[in-house]
């Protein structure tokens, strides 16, 4: 049989698919440690009823904890909101709505990350 | 249209998929629950910087035993999502383990129980102690 | 034994929507479900419409949903189902034509999209293009596919968004060529699989593997394609 010309149009490579897939898995591994650790600290090793501004300020006086919380915040929101985007891809088939809601997810996710990071960097403000 | 997506959700309930379908559905539901919670949690914690008096208000709200019980549910969602997610990551990156799929599913439930039951017990104990006080 | 078949009927000429009808027959537990269906068609209701051809699990014509799970009617024995009432419906996710017959065209469309032919323009050898047993083993499992559509129509992402997802069967067929050492279009195939409508729509639900009448490890093969795209093809 002579050389076959593929019947399929050439398509640009879709790197986002790969990036998203790898990111979800790598962030998942980090988040398992970060999230379960955070939960253990807040709810098991400490009583959540003892939580107050002083408690947070004491933790954040240690730079290590601020970095921990920043990683938890950034990775957690990214993993979670990318997950939202994935669920969106499954259920919203209208192309316009899909794009619009995708942007909403991106904007809300970024906004929350910025708000959280500012708070971590700024620290507890005593009234 | 959204209706096709909605119909497909109903079909998930009708189709007798076995554990794979159940674990996927729980993974999705727990993920949605956690990300919703996380969004609210980022806001309420950020008030330590933006509006500290609001933080005190939120914390007093969460000391309510109703929220305490919700938090135990949240713990279940986080731990399940993490353990099932771990199974998925392992299966995705270590293909030789694919043959052990049934055992992996079982391990997800075991590790969930090992992590969640003591956590829920401690949290419940704290709620009760606080209510009694 | 007495057996009741609860069949989802739909006649496009007279019905606005599908409805259930029941037929009680005297069945032999060692017989195939297809035999029971054909008995109903031959003796009770000649209008019952279904596809069948080889009746022995090779042609893939009679895939349907049996007691809520996809399978081939000619491969399922009545004693395996083991319920006094067996509910039978057409596959979900493909347009319904009549009774148990669905329009397979969207399925074929996705199949064509993955280039289901060997690409090798090197000068042909004197005899065969040789392949070792190890090389064959890499894709042997995915050659078993009979294109029955049981897997694709058991897939929740495909139900939700069938217009934007190739479906498990097409990925298995693509896998068959991607991991065939004689094929030379690997990069192009992986590019197709990496598109938004390709492997990334798979949510690892696993229904496909459970529905496959040929026992193909579909989810595992989809995972192999995902890894090939993200991490590169494995060394031979």
- Across the interface, of C161, C203, C210, the residue whose CB is closest to B18 is C210
**What are the pLDDT digits (tens) for C86-105?**
999 999 999 999 999 999 99
The C-alpha torsion from B42 through B43 and B48 to B52, rounded to 10°, is -160
In this structure, are C158 and C190 located in the same domain? yes
- Residues C149 and C208: their CA atoms lie apart, in Å, by 10
Do C110 and C89 reside in the same domain of the chain?
no
C-alpha B6, offset from chain centre: 23
Q: What is the pLDDT of residue A8?
A: 60
Locate the domains of chain A by residue range: 24-122
User: B78: which chain A residues are within 8 Å (Cβ-Cβ)?
Assistant: 35-36, 39
Domain count, chain C: 2
Name the DSSP class of C70: E
Q: Hey, is the C-beta of C227 within 8 angstroms of any chain B C-beta?
A: yes
DSSP B52-108: HHHHHHHHHHHTSHHHHHHHHHHHHHHHHHHHHHHHHHHHHH-GGGGGGHHHHHHHH
List the domain range (segments joined by +) for residue C137.
105-231
Question: How are beta strands C96-98 and C101-102 bridged, if at all?
Answer: antiparallel
pLDDT value of position B95: 79
Partners of B40 in the β-ladder? none
Whether C61 and C79 have beta carbons less than 8 Å apart is answered as no
Which domain-ending residue is among C82, C102, C122? Answer: C102
- Compute how many other C-beta atoms are within 10 angstroms of the C-beta atom of residue C110: 22
Residues C115 and C183 in one domain: yes
**What's the pLDDT at A127?**
59
In a domain, C180, yes or no: yes
Among the residue ranges A8-12, A60-64, B34-38, B69-73, the one predicted with the least confidence is A8-12
Sign of the C-alpha dihedral computed for residues B86, B91, B92 and B94 taken in this order: positive
**In angstroms, what separates the C-alpha of A58 from chain B's closest C-alpha?**
13
Identify the pLDDT of residue A102: 95
**Does residue C33 lie within any of the structural domains?**
yes
Residue among C7, C10, C66, C85 at smallest CA distance from C40: C7
pLDDT at C60 over 90: yes
Which chains border C (3 or more CB–CB pairs < 8 Å)? Answer: A, B
Domain A24-122 has CATH 1.20.1300.10: yes
**Region of poorest pLDDT, from A40-54, A100-114, B67-81, C97-111:** A40-54
Contact B56 A73 (CB under 8 A): no
Q: Could you tell me if C47 and C6 lie in one domain? A: yes
Q: Is the pTM of the predicted complex or chain greater than 0.80?
A: yes
Q: What is the mean pLDDT of chain A?
A: 88
Same domain? For C169 and C206 the reply is yes
Residue A6 has pLDDT above 80, yes or no: no
- Among C102, C119, C142, the domain boundary falls at C102
Q: Which helix (H) or strand (E) holds A120?
A: helix A95-122
DSSP A44: I
Domain presence at residue C154: yes
Encode C19-40: b = buried (16+ Cβ within 10 Å), e = exposed: eeeebeeebeeeebbbbbbbbb
Selection from C213, C236, C219 nearest residue C91 by Cα: C213
Quote the CA–CA distance of A44 and A50 in Å, as a whole number: 12
CA distance C226 to B88: 13
Interface check for C56 against chain A (CB to CB < 8 A): the answer is: no
pLDDT of residue B130: 81
CATH assignment at residue C50: 3.10.20.30
C182-218: pLDDT as tens digits: 999 999 999 999 999 999 999 999 999 999 999 999 9
User: A56 with A101: CB under 8 angstroms?
Assistant: no
Q: Specify the pLDDT at position A52.
A: 82
**What separation, in Å, do the N-terminal and C-terminal C-alpha atoms of chain A show?**
81
C137-161 confidence digits (pLDDT tens): 999 999 999 999 999 999 999 999 8
* Cα–Cα distance for residue pair C162/C63, rounded to 1 Å: 18
CATH number reported for the structural domain that contains residue C224 in this entry = 1.10.1060.10
Write out residues in chain B with pLDDT < 50, as ranges: 1
Q: C9 has which bridge partners?
A: C19
C138 and C33 belong to one structural domain = no
Q: Which residue of C has its CA nearest to B7?
A: C160
Instruction: Note whether C72 and C145 are same-domain residues.
Output: no
Indicate yes or no: CB of A21 within 8 angstroms of CB of C161. Answer: no
Q: What is the ipTM score, two decimals?
A: 0.90
In this structure, which CATH number among 3.20.20.70, 1.20.59.10, 3.40.50.1100, 1.20.1300.10 belongs to the domain B18-132? 1.20.1300.10
Smallest Cα–Cα separation from C213: which of C93, C94, C75? Answer: C75
């Amino acid at each position: 049989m002579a050389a076959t010309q593929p019947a399929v149009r050439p398509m640009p490579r879709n790197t986002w698919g790969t990036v998203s897939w790898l990111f979800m898995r790598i962030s998942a591994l980090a988040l398992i440690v970060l999230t379960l650790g955070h939960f253990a600290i807040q709810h098991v090793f400490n009583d959540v009823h003892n939580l107050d501004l002083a408690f947070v300020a004491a933790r954040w006086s240690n730079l290590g904890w601020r970095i921990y919380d920043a990683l938890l915040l950034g990775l957690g929101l990214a993993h979670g909101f990318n997950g939202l985007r994935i669920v969106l891809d499954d259920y919203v088939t209208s192309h316009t709505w899909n794009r619009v809601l995708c942007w909403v997810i991106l904007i809300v996710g970024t906004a929350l990350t910025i708000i959280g990071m500012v708070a971590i960097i700024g620290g507890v403000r005593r009234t | 249209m959204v209706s096709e997506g909605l119909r497909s959700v109903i079909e998930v309930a009708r189709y007798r998929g076995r554990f794979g379908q159940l674990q996927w559905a729980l993974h999705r539901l727990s993920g949605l629950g956690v990300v919703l919670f996380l969004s609210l949690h980022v806001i309420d914690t950020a008030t330590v910087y933006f509006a500290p008096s609001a933080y005190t208000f939120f914390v007093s709200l969460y000391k309510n035993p109703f929220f305490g019980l919700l938090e135990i549910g949240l713990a279940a969602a986080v731990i399940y999502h993490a353990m099932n997610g771990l199974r998925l990551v392992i299966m995705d990156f270590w293909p030789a383990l694919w043959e052990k799929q049934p055992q992996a599913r079982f391990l997800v439930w075991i590790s969930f129980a090992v992590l969640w039951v003591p956590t829920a017990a401690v949290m419940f104990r704290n709620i009760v102690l606080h209510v009694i006080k | 034994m007495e057996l009741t078949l609860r069949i989802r009927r739909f006649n496009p000429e007279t019905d606005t929507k599908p409805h259930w009808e029941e037929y009680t027959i005297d069945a032999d537990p060692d017989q195939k479900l297809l035999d029971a269906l054909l008995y109903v068609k031959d003796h009770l209701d000649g209008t019952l419409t279904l596809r069948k051809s080889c009746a022995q699990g090779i042609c893939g014509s009679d895939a349907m949903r049996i007691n809520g799970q996809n399978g081939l009617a000619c491969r399922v024995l009545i004693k395996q189902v083991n319920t006094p009432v067996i509910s039978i419906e057409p596959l979900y996710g493909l347009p319904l034509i009549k009774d148990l017959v669905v329009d397979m065209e969207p399925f074929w469309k996705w199949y064509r999209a993955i280039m289901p032919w060997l690409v090798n323009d090197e000068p042909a050898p004197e005899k065969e293009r040789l392949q070792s047993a190890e090389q064959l083993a890499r894709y042997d499992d995915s050659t078993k596919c009979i294109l029955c559509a049981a897997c694709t129509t058991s897939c929740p992402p495909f139900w939700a968004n069938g217009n934007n997802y190739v479906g498990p069967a097409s990925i298995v067929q693509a896998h068959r060529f991607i991991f065939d050492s004689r094929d030379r279009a690997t990069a192009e195939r992986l590019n197709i699989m990496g598109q938004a409508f390709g492997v990334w729509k798979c949510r690892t639900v696993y229904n496909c593997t459970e529905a496959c009448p040929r026992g193909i490890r579909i989810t595992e093969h989809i995972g192999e394609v995902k890894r090939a795209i993200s991490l590169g093809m494995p060394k031979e």
